[in-house]
Amino acid sequence: MKTARKYLVAVSIIAVLLSSGCVQEDERVYRVGILSGLDFFTVIGDTFKEEMTKLGYVENENIIYDIQKTNFEPEREKEILEKFVDDDVDLIFAFPTEVALAAKEATEGTDIPVLFAAAFTEGNDLIDSVTQPGGHITGVRYPGTDVAVRRLEVLHDIMPDAKRVWLPYQKEYPAVPAELELVRPAAQSLGITLIEFPVTNQTHLQEELQNREDSDNFDFDAVLYIPESLSTTQSVFELIANFTRERKIPIMGTKILTEDYGTVFGVTTNNPDFGILAAPMADKILRGTQAGTIPVASPESKLIINYKAAEELGITLPEGLLAMADDIIR
């Protein structure tokens, strides 16, 4: 009986000490490797960290970030991801598509979870499905195929008389075939002929534009970007704009601006939203939920209209479309 009483007293004392804060359980320090594969997407990592702070993760106290940045550098990305694996980080946060695929490959055979962002899930083996991504990976997808068709529809709303549309895109980009599979019949139903131009690199694009310049062959009414890597590259936009601007041929689909010029509209996502959506998923993973059981998230696409660019090109924008816009640049 005396032994039992002593045991109960000891348990009571420990409980009181714990509740009063005199005894604290050591808090685990998590390590997260972040790899941004393109400057265009760097803000995703910033908003991710901000949201993680709101969830109680304080940098250099209970979480440590190893932040790395590249720009279309597959070999360097591979080295960075291998170092994350060697360091046995608790989570890898990788974006966009190519980097996410490389992260999945680098962590094969390990129990290191991968969280992706701004990645296409069509045309590759990144996940098993949106509802059950499988394995040790999940993330926030880019709603590519939906956005591609919507861009074409908005172009038609703005220029219903446009019959020929030039469509440059990165050759062999994984998501493109799935997008074209939907865009082609949509164009046909709208009476639009797509002039597709698969680009191997920027030099290839410049040669094509120069050939058209030399032969005065600009036999299209507009340029359309579908979601892929080419559409995120400022220098590519400037290259195309140099050839089309003086001919009053609009560039549409994505939001790109220079100091005095830009695309007419963009149907796209806000990059910060990827980080915002990814943070609670990371929290679940760090708390023990298997990544592959967490459904993939997807941000809402937004319609951004560049009224100034349209006005410069002599395009009258439909009032109904302006009313639908999430943002108007004037």
Q: Are residues 287 and 178 in the same domain?
A: no
pLDDT score, position 21: 46
Give pTM, 2 decimals: 0.81
pLDDT score, position 259: 80
Q: Are residues 167 and 135 in the same domain?
A: no
Q: Is the pLDDT of residue 19 over 60?
A: no
pLDDT score, position 140: 98
Q: Are residues 42 and 126 in the same domain?
A: yes
Structure tokens at 3: 């032994």
Q: Are residues 314 and 205 in the same domain?
A: yes
Whether 216 is in a domain gets the answer yes
Q: Is the pLDDT of residue 175 over 90?
A: no
Reported as a pLDDT band with limits 50, 70 and 90, residue 85 is very high
The answer to whether 209 touches 175, Cβ cutoff 8 Å, is no
C-alpha distances out from residue 127 to 131, 180, 312, Å: 10, 21, 44
Q: How far apart are CA 203 and CA 86, in angstroms?
A: 38
Reported as a pLDDT band with limits 50, 70 and 90, residue 173 is confident
Identity of the amino acid at 106: A
How remote is the C-alpha of 11 from its chain's centroid? 52
CATH assignment of the domain containing 81: 3.40.50.2300
Q: How far apart are CA 90 and CA 111, in angstroms?
A: 9
pLDDT score, position 230: 83
Q: How far apart are CA 211 and CA 43, in angstroms?
A: 37
Q: Are residues 122 and 218 in the same domain?
A: no
Q: Are residues 75 and 206 in the same domain?
A: no
Q: Are residues 173 and 262 in the same domain?
A: yes
Reported as a pLDDT band with limits 50, 70 and 90, residue 22 is very low
Whether 9 is in a domain gets the answer no
Average pLDDT over residues 96-116: 97
The whole-chain average pLDDT of the chain stands at: 91
pLDDT score, position 234: 86
Q: Is the pLDDT of residue 212 over 80?
A: yes
Nearest Cα to Cα of residue 137 among 112, 163, 109: 112
- Domain of residue 295: give its range: 30-142+270-299
Whether 154 is in a domain gets the answer yes
Q: Are residues 100 and 221 in the same domain?
A: no
Q: Are residues 238 and 285 in the same domain?
A: no
User: What percent of the chain lies above the pLDDT cut of 90?
Assistant: 83
Whether 5 is in a domain gets the answer no
Nearest Cα to Cα of residue 106 among 127, 132, 79, 129: 79
Q: Which parts of the chain are beta strand (E)?
A: 30-36, 63-69, 91-95, 114-119, 137-141, 164-170, 193-199, 222-224, 251-252, 265-268, 302-306, 327-329
Q: How far apart are CA 55 and CA 34, in angstroms?
A: 18
Nearest Cα to Cα of residue 252 among 277, 231, 229, 274: 231
- How many structural domains compose the chain? 2
Whether 108 is in a domain gets the answer yes
Average pLDDT over residues 270-284: 97
Query: In this predicted model, what pLDDT tens digit does every residue of 24-71 receive, in sequence order?
Result: 445 899 999 999 999 989 999 999 999 999 999 999 999 999 999 999
Reported as a pLDDT band with limits 50, 70 and 90, residue 12 is low
Of 129-143, 221-235, 270-284, 304-318, give the lowest mean pLDDT range: 221-235
- 3-state DSSP call for residue 159? coil
Structure tokens at 265: 């509209």
Q: Are residues 319 and 184 in the same domain?
A: yes
End-to-end CA distance of the chain: 84
Whether 10 is in a domain gets the answer no
The answer to whether 219 touches 164, Cβ cutoff 8 Å, is yes
Q: Are residues 322 and 256 in the same domain?
A: yes
> β-pairing, 114-119 with 91-95?
parallel
Whether 17 is in a domain gets the answer no
Q: Is the pLDDT of residue 3 over 70?
A: no
Whether 15 is in a domain gets the answer no
Reported as a pLDDT band with limits 50, 70 and 90, residue 75 is very high
The answer to whether 71 touches 235, Cβ cutoff 8 Å, is no
Nearest Cα to Cα of residue 235 among 215, 216, 209: 209
Average pLDDT over residues 117-125: 93
**Choice between 60 and 233, residue whose per-residue pLDDT is larger:** 60
pLDDT score, position 229: 83
Q: Are residues 122 and 136 in the same domain?
A: yes
Structure tokens at 286: 């760090």
